């Protein structure tokens, strides 16, 4: 998608602070971090929301979680702990409509659901 900021990052049109990359996934530091470690993990393929991942494409979710494990190891927070978040659609807090996972850590995170 030509107007998608994350697609532009994948294409190299917008720079990022790359943390991890493989053939299917790109992970980079968030430019407005909400924790000492805040990494955005995206599929390179444009998928607007979690609801747009067809059942036969469950590999997309698996790719994101495998990347999250690698990012946690790279950022040295795997043993200490971290949080992953996927926001879906406007009421779910999604701002960029390209499926993405937030990986947050580097400190004790507060429960935001209570």
52 backbone φψ class: left, alpha, beta (φ>0; ψ -120 to 50): alpha
DSSP 8-state code for residue 111: P
d(CA 50, CA 59): 13
Which one is catalytic: 38, 46, 98, 100? 100
d(CA 25, CA 66): 10
3-state helix, strand, coil split of the chain in percent (to 5) is 25, 20, 50
> Is 100 a catalytic site residue?
yes
Provide the terminal-to-terminal Cα distance of the chain, rounded to the nearest Å: 37
Cite the active site residues: 100
């Amino acid at each position: 998608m030509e107007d998608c900021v994350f697609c532009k990052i994948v294409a190299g049109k917008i720079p990022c602070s790359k943390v991890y990359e493989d053939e299917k996934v790109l992970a980079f530091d968030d430019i407005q971090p909400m924790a000492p470690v805040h990494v955005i993990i995206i599929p390179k393929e444009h998928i607007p929301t979690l609801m747009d991942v067809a059942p036969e494409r469950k590999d997309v979710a698996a790719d994101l979680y495998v990347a999250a494990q690698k990012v946690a190891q790279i950022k040295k927070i795997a043993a200490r702990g971290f949080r992953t978040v996927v926001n879906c659609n406007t009421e779910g807090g999604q701002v960029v409509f390209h499926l993405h996972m937030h990986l947050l850590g580097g400190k004790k995170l507060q429960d935001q659901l209570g």
